[in-house]
Amino acid sequence: MKTAKTSQWTTFQTPACQADFTDSALQGRMNQLWNTNLSGFTRQGITGNPWTATNSSDQTWYFDPTTTNISEGVYARITWSPVPGRIKYYFPNTSNANMWSLADTGYDTNGATFGQIPADPCDPSDTTKTPYGPYGPRGWQDEYCEWSITRNAQGQIVRIDFTCENPEYWNTLWMVSPQRVVELYRSTLDKPQIALEDLYLRDAAGNPVIDASTGRPAYNPLNKWNSGTASTSSAGGAMHLTSTPNTLQTEIGLGSTATTPRTSGNANPNTLICCAQYGQIGRNSDPHIGQSVNLVVTPPNPAISPAKATLANPPGLYIQTPSFNRITAPRGIDPSTFWTIKRGQNTLTDGSGNSMPGNFILHAVFEVPAALGFTISDLQVDGVPVQWAAQIAQTFNMQIAAMALPQSPGPVAQACAGSPAVAQAQALQLFNTPVFDAMIATPITNPVGQAMNLASNSTMIAPHIEPGAVRRPLTLVLTGLLDPPQLPTVSFGPGVSVVAGAMQPVRYAIPGNTYPSDSWALSLLVNVDASAAPGLRDALVNNPGQTATIPTPALLNIVDPVTKDMA
């Protein structure tokens, strides 16, 4: 750990302090939207789940680094392997070759996909099985790092793109400038053939879906250039994360939940993760991150002070520099020359110019120059010839930079999370209706053949609505309804009126979740007074006969109209 002794940034910085606009007005707009989104995610994490779970709310030992005095803060690195740990966890007899093949493609060397796994790994008495997930074109790459592989006509690997960029950033960037997004796709993936129209979300008839938040076509996060693990000149690439748990909002939620001390203790990461109900057993990331955070809050050594914790600003997930000494190239050529940082940076300083721990790489390319006359497939990792990109992934770690803020006395341990006797209605997510309709109707293929749709790749970014808006169609996704379900009441606070319409059952993975779940989609028509105060609005939902007192934070954003030709 390293004492920060820093003056804080008063806003959330973009990941790795990435600046993607040379135009100061556009970058300023991006910074403003990003800070708004991260402030909302942080409030959601601290609030937790007081509606449909017990001992899972008011997680105040997680803190907002932009509103808390962090002059005595201490940095800490939390690192893990990007190779999907759950493959070996559930299939321990899998050979290394099959594990690498599964990590790269979703299929082993014989063309077989993942077997079934326990439906509830926290309950050994439950013998129910379920298909291995997360589902999706590269859903199994669930360690906050995903990659795509380019092979030549002979099947040799010529390029690997590694990314850990969160989807929320790219959705925010799209809201500012779709044109800048397509330019970054082209330059990062080195594919000038990518067209703006390739990135559009489309309805069943193939027409672009207009996002009322911007008045422009909506973004498809699983467009053909950011889908799957095979990259060619006509499709494929890894621009940002797509596995449903791989979101920044989820990482904030995991970190905040992990700050709650548990009566189970924190000596065993799997015991802790089952008690607190965050993440998945068997990952290299979730159990280790959660235990690391919990040990900061409740250290086993009484000589160490307990501390509040947070993701250090700028919050993000970062690729670390590979251990190049594990890689051998022909003619003794230095393999570090094959590594190019496309986005992010090797080092980062905080608001006071102090060095932050680790590397802050967002997108890296591993590629042997064609002039050398050999390919990645001619390399060795740990003395084993390279056939799979996962072998290169084994040579580096992922990282979050955390911050601890010593406190005294420490928090009181809570019992394990559970189900309440009576659940309250919970607002989960809000969409502009045309965007939701298109996403829920778009099927997504995956190796295990499970039903999946594009709504699982949505984000928790609040839809924008302007003062004076009339009868804006929005869709609110809910859980915790009565059985049988009855129409709940919905409020977004002063100056916003709501008319609730039809309600239908839906199934998708709420952003950040590994598996799809059943919930309800409620159609709304929303009016906003011309004098309504701008900013994020919470959603308070009540079942008939129930009175909830805690709203879901940051689901709607009232903003001044954005000039449509700004970008």
Split into its structural domains, the chain has a count of 3
Are both 481 and 542 inside the same structural domain?
A: yes
Residue 471 within a domain = yes
Contact 170, 221 (CB under 8 A): yes
pTM of the model: 0.97
What pLDDT is recorded for position 562? Answer: 55
Picking from 314, 336, 371, the residue at the C-terminal end of a domain is: 314
User: What is the rounded distance in angstroms from the CA atom of residue 249 to the CA atom of residue 459?
Assistant: 8
479 shares a domain with 547: yes
Is the distance from CB of 276 to CB of 283 less than 8 angstroms?
Answer: no
Distance CA 468, CA 383 (A): 66
Domain stops at, among 314, 346, 371: 314
Domain of residue 291: give its range: 2-79+247-314
Residues 110 and 52 placed together within one structural domain of the fold:
no
Q: Are residues 325 and 452 in the same domain?
A: no
Q: Within this chain, do residues 361 and 502 fall inside the same structural domain, yes or no? A: no
For residues 368 and 452, state if they share a domain: no
In this structure, the answer to whether residues 337 and 382 fall within a common structural domain is yes
**β-bridge mates for residue 453, sequence order:** 443
Q: Please list, in sequence order, all residues whose beta carbon lies within 8 angstroms of the beta carbon of residue 466, skipping any fewer than 6 positions away.
A: 528, 558, 559, 560, 561
**Quick one: pLDDT at residue 561?**
75
Q: Domain for residue 414, yes or no? A: no
Torsion, Cα 428 434 437 442, to 10 degrees, reads -110
* 412: Cβ contacts below 8 Å, ≥ 6 apart: 261
User: 194 and 89, same structural domain?
Assistant: yes
Residue type for 543, please?
Answer: N
Same domain for 140 and 276?
no
Do strands 552-558 and 464-465 pair parallel, antiparallel, or not at all (unpaired)?
parallel
In a domain, 239, yes or no: no
E strands present in 188-264 = 210-211, 216-217
Q: What angle do CA 101, 102, 103 make, to 5 degrees?
A: 90
CA distance 12 to 217: 27
Question: How far from 456 is each of 205, 269, 460, 508, CA to CA, in Å?
Answer: 21, 27, 11, 5
Asked if residue 173 belongs to a domain, the reply is: yes
Residues of the chain with pLDDT under 70: 1-7, 562-567
**Boundary (domain end) residue, out of 294, 314, 334:** 314
Q: Long-range contacts made by residues 263-266, C-beta under 8 angstroms, separation at least 24?
A: 263/413, 263/414, 263/415, 263/416, 264/416, 266/291, 266/294, 266/295, 266/298, 266/300
Is there a single domain that holds both residue 490 and residue 373?
no
In a domain, 348, yes or no: yes
- 71 in any annotated domain: yes
Domain membership of residue 406 (yes or no) is no
Q: Under 8 Å CB-to-CB from 533, ≥6 apart: which residues?
A: 494, 495, 558
What pLDDT is attached to residue 302?
87
Asked if residue 145 belongs to a domain, the reply is: yes
Amino acid present at 544: P
Query: Which pLDDT value is given to residue 7?
Result: 56
Residues 434 and 510 in one domain: yes
Based on the domain organization, do 310 and 324 belong to the same domain? no
